[in-house]
Each structure stands twice: as C-alpha cells, then as structure tokens.
Chain A
Amino acid sequence: MISRLVLASLRRRFRQLALILAAVMVAAATVVTLAGFSSRAAKQLGEGLSAFGPNLTVRPQVGGPASLPPEVLRRVRQIPGVVSAAGAGLDRIDVRADPGRLAEVARAVETKIEGVEAAPLRRVSESDARLTRRLTLLLAAVSAVSLLLALLSVGAATAALVGERRTEIGLFLALGYTGRRVGIFLAAELLAAAVLAGALGELLGELAAGSLAHWILGAGGRLSLTWGGFAAAALVATLVVGSSMLMALRRVERLDAARVLRGD
C-alpha cells in the first residue's frame, strides 16, 4: 500500500519533486566535485612534486664532518613524508618532502640521523600548500553555497508540498494514522527522490571533478565512480532532505485536522 501511495503521489507531484530532485542533485554534485577534485589534485600534485624541485636541504651540522656518508642518503629516503632525495654532493642532500608535512619531516631527519641538520626551503613549500589550499577553499565555498541553496529550496518545496496536502494529511489523521506515520509516508516520497538525486549527483560530480582536474591540472580527467563519492552524495541528500523532513514533520504534528477537513 505504501509503495502504491508513494508511486501515485510521485507521479502526481512530479514538478515539486523534480524541483527537490534538482536541488539535491546540484548540491550533491557540487560536494562530489569538491571531493573528487581535491583527491585528484592531491594525487596530481603529489605525482608532480619533483617538478617543483626540492623543498628541504640536509647538511652536516656545523662543527661536524665536512661531508655526509652515503648511508645518510638511504636513511633520509626511509623517513615518512619524503618523496625523493638526491645527493648533489656529499656535503648536501636535496629532499622533496610532502609540502604539508615539511616541518615534521625536517624534525624527523634531525632526530633520526645524528650529526645533520635539515632546513626547509620555505618559499617553494608554501607555494605548493597555498595552491592546494586555495583550490580547496574555493570548492568548499561553492559547495557550502550550493548546500545552503539546496537546504532553502528543498525546505521551501517540502513546506509547499505539505501545505498543498493539508487536506490529505488531515484525512490520514482523521482515519486514525498517527502524525509520525503520516510523516513516514511523506519521507518515503522524499527519500525516493533523494536516492535518485544522490546517484545522479555522484555521476555529475565525478564528471565535473574529472573535467576540472583535466582543465586545471592537465591530467586526471578520467571518470571514476567511487564509494566515497557515493557516500558524500548520500550524506548531502540525507542532510538536505532530512532537515526538510524534520520541519515538515513538525508541521504535520501541529496540523489541526478538524479545521483542515472543515475547509478552514
């Protein structure tokens, strides 16, 4: 019975539900774009780190031996966060470390290898980090705005949906359905739309993330659907529809069935 109710209602309220579907889909797609692009950017930047050159120099301590033994180069390469290390000469090792862990890597080198000092090359590392951070912030801002817009538009559409169905809801209450059960009927309709919107959002988001990565980074444009992407899309859909549903449920529970059925 509930599936018949939901399907019949979905067909009848196609326009409102299409609006809800579109809003949730755009929000989910934006968030998936953010997540997808960030992971592609991190991967791409990581792959291209060597192109940016070394960001850490390891030298013998002042007052220590004039040159570094080859064993030191091998030990430096083993330290977590080190991407590459090469000895231009035995008096200095040029290291490419993960920009986000530069200070941590420098400390690890000095702690684990005696008689050396590690000096980060600030300007290069900060430039790397700043580029990644700015892109992420930009996408996060876009995601937040689209999420907010989705919350507002879906909230308004759901409120309109409940308002339009006041008589129907009043009838359900008059027949003896509890407010919670009526809420479940409405939630089932919205969740059906949300699941579809989430899946479409994941697909669009991954496509957008791939295109963006290809355009900005020159690589990583391949479409790849991931469980993480689906989870992000589902999270957005649940958040948007869930918050709207909570508001709708409160309206259902406050609805005066007697007045509504009387036509007031």
Chain B
Amino acid sequence: MPLVEVEALSRRFGSLRALDDLTLTIEQGEWVAVTGPSGSGKTTLLNVLSGLDRPTSGRVRVGGVDLSGLSARELSRYRQRTVGLVFQQFHLIPYLTAVENVMLAQYVHSMTDRAEAEEALRRVGLAERLDHLPSQLSGGEQQRVCIARALINQPPLILADEPTGNLDAVNEAVVMSLLADLHQRGHTLILVTHDPSIAVRAGREIRLEHGRLAHVEQPGDLELQGVLAELWQAIEEDRTGVSVTRRGVAALLSGGLLAFADGRIAFTERGRAQALAMVRRVRLAEVLLARTLDRGPSEECGREAPVAAGFEDQVCAFLDHPGVCPHGRPIPNGAACCASIPAAQQVLELGV
C-alpha cells in the first residue's frame, strides 16, 4: 500500500487555485522531488501533507489515515508521530542551543533524552557544536540541526521544503548527502525544490504547474548517471562483472553516451566526459563528508550522493583539490585543477 495517497486534491485561496484536482501516490521508502515554478503549489502540497493546511476538497491519506477527517488536535498528533519537517529557513529557536533545539522536538512527547539528542547531532557531524546557539552556527550547520530535529522522533515521512535553498555549494552537498542517507535508511522523503540538479537525485520527480501535475519524470537522469559512474569504476578496477541495469545501458546507448561497435560497448566522448564528471562529483562528496562530518568512508566507494552539478569546482577548491577519495581511488581533475586526467583513463572500453 502506498504511504501517501492524494486523490482529487484541491486547495483554493479565495479565487486562486493553489492545487487543482491533484492525484498522486508515493510509495513507502520513495524519494520524490516536487518541482515547478514559483506559485505552482509545491509548498501548498507539502503543507497539506504535513497537516499544517487542509484541502478545500479531495482526500489525502498518509499511512492509511485520512488527514481531511482529523481534528486540529489529531493533526498535531499526526505531525508528532508521522512527519519530520526540514525548512529552507531552518527555523531554529534562537535562544536555545543546538542540542536544546533538537530536544524541543522530543519534548512534544512530554519527555526529553539529552543523550539521544546529542547522538542525533553527532550523526550529522555536529558533535563539537552541541551547546552553540544558532547565531554561532553557519547556515549549513543550522540546516543539519534542523535535519537532526526532524529525525529525532524517527518519523516515517520526511518533508523538506527547499532544504538547500539558503546554502552554498559545500553545505548543499553535505545536506543532500544526509538526506540521501535518510532515504537509504528507509525514510520516505518528499523534497520540494526548484533546482533541477537537486531534483535529479530523487528517485522520481513530480512537476507541478498551476497546481496540476504537469509531468511525472520516470527514474532517469540520476539512474543513468549512476550507471555511468558504475561502468567507469568497473573499468578502473579492471572488473569484468558489472552490476548495472539493462535498461540503464540501453538508455545510455540510445542517449549517445555509450556506443556499440564491433561487439564492444565503449564510452563515447560525451559519455566519457559525463562519467568522469559524475565520478568526480561522487568522490568529492565522499571526501567532503568524511572531513565535514568527521566520519570514516562509507563501506563501498561510489555510494554517496554526488556534489551538485556546477558546484564541483568550488567544492574541489574548498577541499584543496584532493587527489584521492577516502577509499584511495583517484579523483578526476576538473578544469580548475592543475593536473590532467590520468593517462590510464584516456581510453576506456567495455567488453561484452
């Protein structure tokens, strides 16, 4: 059964139709990006799903509970138990420390556990910032406190409204990695964004225009980018078995990123450039997270969410142009880096 079922949902503000007869479902454990131009109803949809707003008509069911039939008190209870909210403006209480801001979400259940709140902050790399006020934290750190607060009660549904909207490239990468981590741990993630580079990381994109479903993207760009990176890594490690989807390879072939000739599949020039860029973004993210969150590398190389496209040079400079990822694999150089791409990676071919 889907976690979220939206059926003929409409929300009007006077004569303005913020959401207009919207129907969609979101499965448990899915990562969905809601995109669209300003005023398309993205945030209104998120507000209705969080129980902060009520539909004018239609039905919204989350975890089998029909939100439109709940009283204000029941909606509060729903938010306590089911939803974790991540805001663009962080919304931390300015006179409480980081750990107290997290405990505030625990206190909604009339109890607090400081050790648990501290652990949540450690998980987002803020072990050294527990007793700092929000004014003493950077934007990225404040957003990480916000994420820790959203997670402290283990809600099954995370709703994030432009979570990287106020962040620079480095902090965007950190926050996106944390969100990807949440998704991998089984949380259902609905992320509102107007940034296509953020949206492609989601498993599915829902595009709204004038409150209506404009276009639902199928799993695409991110998956294909992942296949490219996986292929590159396989070649790098001289592996023969490559775990990629047939559909992915087929899409890359039809997209002109791979070419089939003489019984072999090889990267085209464009495919090679994209694979390199993707590998670089993923490995930079690994270095960034290992340093920023002060944690060891993930078990497998290439599993972190990549740095946002277009920001990799900034992140690379911020990290002082690291040569290898935490797993010891080379990080391809970018235009801003001094060295050229290793000669060994100039020609890559796949046997079939």
Interface positions of A (Cβ within 8 A of B) = 1-2, 4-5, 8-9, 11-12, 167-168, 170-171, 173-179, 256-258, 261-263
Contacts and interface: CB of A to CB of B under 8 A. Distances in A.
Contacts of B81: 176
Contacts of B107: 1-2
B77 interface: yes
B96 interface: yes
B85 A4 contact: no
A221 to B, nearest CB: 45
A11 B95 contact: yes
Contact of A179 (B43, B72, B79, B94): B72
Contacts of B83: 176
A175 B80 contact: yes
A173 B96 contact: no
Contacts of B149: 175
A178 B73 contact: yes
A21 to B, nearest CB: 19
B130 interface: no
Given A1-B112, A176-B79, A8 B73 contact: no
A78 B198 CA distance: 96
Interface stretch (B29-37, B97-105, B296-304): B97-105
A168 B94 CA distance: 9
A175 B50 CA distance: 10
A175 B104 contact: yes
B77 A176 contact: yes
Given A174-B50, A258-B47, A263 B79 contact: no
Contacts of B95: 8-9, 11-12
A176 B52 contact: no
Interface centre among B73, B93, B94, B103 (most CB of A within 10 A): B93
Contacts of A168: 93
A177 B108 contact: yes
Contacts of B53: 256, 258
B335 to A, nearest CB: 38
B43 A262 contact: yes
A5 B94 CA distance: 11
A5 B112 CA distance: 13
B87 A175 contact: no
A258 B49 CA distance: 11
Given A2-B107, A176-B83, A262-B43, 14 more contacts: A4-B100, A8-B95, A9-B95, A12-B95, A167-B91, A170-B91, A175-B80, A176-B79, A176-B80, A178-B73, A256-B53, A258-B47, A258-B52, A261-B52
B76 A1 contact: no
A4 B91 CA distance: 18
A175 B79 contact: yes
A142 to B, nearest CB: 39
B112 A175 contact: no
B55 to A, nearest CB: 12
Contacts of A262: 43, 47
Contact of B76 (A9, A170, A171, A173): A173
A168 to B, nearest CB: 6
Contact of A263 (B77, B89, B112): B89
Contact of A171 (B43, B72, B91, B100): B91
Interface in B4-25: none
Contacts of A261: 52, 87, 89, 91
A178 B91 contact: no
Contacts of B100: 1, 4
Most buried by B among A167, A171, A176, A177: A176
Interface in B24-77: 43, 47, 50, 52-53, 72-73, 76-77
A186 B149 CA distance: 22
Nearest to B83: A176
B103 A1 contact: yes
A257 to B, nearest CB: 5
A199 B67 CA distance: 48
A179 to B, nearest CB: 7
A12 B103 CA distance: 20
B71 to A, nearest CB: 10
